[in-house]
């Protein structure tokens, strides 16, 4: 059974000017997302700047997010690390504080072999009974989780139930779905590829776009899954330039800028991320206006 179907938001972590986490604003954003069609909250992932959180902040953020959501939608906690034991620790803590599932990125910098990836993910999955979504994003980690590896993991480890696929390779997505034989749900990790991935049998998207267009991102998935691919494709194309602007600098720099423009207190980024360049910000602002998003700053 899928952890969720539809559009899950890869939640930003709003910050105060002093760099501390703004949990009041996080609750406002969580409620806005759920009220506007988002199907799952993914907390402490890449977009949430988890890599610059202490372990204590990481666990506290998951715990408080679970409390904010109040079981209205699943909460999936990012618990990945390039250290297997750290990922196990964070995964156990996510279970303790009430997460419904975990998102585990492939180990970055180490550049493990496919055999090493299998052992890493297996050890993490066996440390908890939470369902596991693997995260394949070679552009950040340096290693592609191959379709055969994903298929083997899905068949050998019961709790590995899905993958967030951000390779950008549609042929690879088709290969994963074919090899896993229904044992592995696939979520698009790229907002510009929702329709083709869901049309191939994917279950939805783990999205950055959902921050600013939650209902529309949900609708792209829902329309594709219901067979109205033409309408879904029109929405996908309508927001293509906006999606491009949301990734004109490294995520989550643009989406935090966008949320600030909408009147949310997303706040600053933690170093080494820096504020969006003005030229890119202006392009993003204009694309948001074209998409019908109310921009107040």
Find the largest Cα–Cα distance for the chain: 51
Locus of tokens 């409390």: 67
* Cα angle 33-38-41, degrees, rounded to a multiple of 5: 80
**The tokens of 245 are what?**
């602007």
What is the DSSP code (8-state) at residue 191? G
**Torsion sign, CA atoms 146, 147, 152, 158:** positive
The first and second tokens of residue 136, run together, are 């394949």
Residue 109 known to be catalytic: no
In which band, very low, low, confident or very high, does the pLDDT at 2 lie, cut at 50, 70 and 90?
Answer: confident
Omega before 39 cis (within 30°)?
no
Active site residue 164: yes
Which candidate, 134, 137, 234, 143, places its Cα nearest to that of 184? Answer: 134
In the numeric block, which tokens belong to residue 247?
């990734």
Residue-wise pLDDT tens digits, 19-54: 999 999 999 999 999 999 999 999 999 999 999 999
Distance between CA atoms of 263 and 260, rounded to whole angstroms? Answer: 5
Residue that the structure tokens 């999955």 belong to: 125
Q: What confidence tier does 62 reach under pLDDT thresholds 50, 70, 90?
A: very high
Q: Which pLDDT belongs to residue 297?
A: 82
**Which residues does 21 contact at the CB level (< 8 Å), separation at least 6?**
13, 14, 15, 57, 61
Q: Which of 135, 223, 239, 256 is catalytic?
A: 135
Q: Which of 13, 224, 185 is nearest to 101 (CA)?
A: 185
Give me the catalytic one of 63, 164, 203, 256.
164
Span 74-133, pLDDT tens digits: 999 999 999 999 999 999 999 999 999 999 999 999 999 999 999 999 999 999 999 999
CA angle 36, 59, 96 (to 5 degrees): 95
User: Which of 195, 206, 161, 148 has the alpha carbon at shortest distance from 10?
Assistant: 206
Q: What is the pLDDT of residues 165-188, one digit of tens each?
A: 999 999 999 999 999 999 999 999
What does the pLDDT read at residue 196?
98
Instruction: Parse the chain into domains and list their residue ranges.
Output: 6-228
Question: Please, what is the Cα angle at 222 between 242 and 146, to 5 degrees?
Answer: 75
Contacts 24+ apart (CB under 8 A), 142-146: 142/108, 142/109, 142/111, 143/106, 143/107, 143/111, 143/112, 143/117, 144/172, 145/106, 145/114, 145/117, 146/114
Query: 6-228 has which CATH code?
Result: 3.20.20.70
């Amino acid at each position: 059974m899928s952890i969720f179907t539809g559009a899950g938001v890869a939640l930003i972590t709003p910050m105060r000017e002093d760099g501390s986490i703004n949990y009041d604003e996080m609750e406002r954003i969580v409620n806005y997302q759920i009220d506007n069609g988002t199907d799952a909250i993914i907390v402490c992932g890449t977009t949430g700047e988890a890599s610059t959180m202490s372990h204590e902040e990481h666990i506290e953020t998951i715990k408080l997010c679970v409390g904010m959501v109040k079981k209205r939608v699943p909460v999936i906690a990012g618990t990945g690390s390039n250290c297997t034991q750290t990922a196990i620790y964070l995964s156990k803590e996510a279970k303790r504080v009430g997460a419904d599932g975990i998102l585990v990125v492939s180990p970055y910098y180490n550049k493990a072999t496919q055999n090493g990836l299998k052992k890493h993910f297996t050890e993490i999955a066996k440390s908890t009974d939470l369902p596991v979504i693997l995260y394949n994003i070679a552009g950040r980690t340096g290693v592609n989780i191959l379709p055969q590896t994903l298929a083997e993991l899905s068949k050998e480890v019961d709790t590995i139930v899905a993958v967030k696929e951000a390779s950008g390779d549609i042929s690879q997505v088709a290969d994963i779905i074919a090899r896993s034989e229904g044992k592995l749900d696939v979520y698009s990790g790229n907002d510009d590829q929702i329709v083709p991935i869901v049309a191939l049998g994917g279950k939805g998207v783990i999205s950055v776009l959902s921050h600013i267009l939650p209902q529309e991102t949900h609708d792209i998935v829902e329309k594709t899954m219901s067979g109205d691919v033409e309408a879904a494709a029109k929405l996908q194309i309508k927001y293509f330039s906006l999606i491009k602007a949301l990734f004109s600098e490294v995520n989550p720099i643009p989406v935090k800028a966008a949320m600030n423009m909408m009147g949310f207190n997303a706040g600053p980024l933690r170093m080494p991320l820096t504020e969006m360049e003005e030229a890119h910000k202006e392009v993003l602002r204009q694309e948001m206006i074209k998409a019908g998003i109310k921009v107040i700053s």
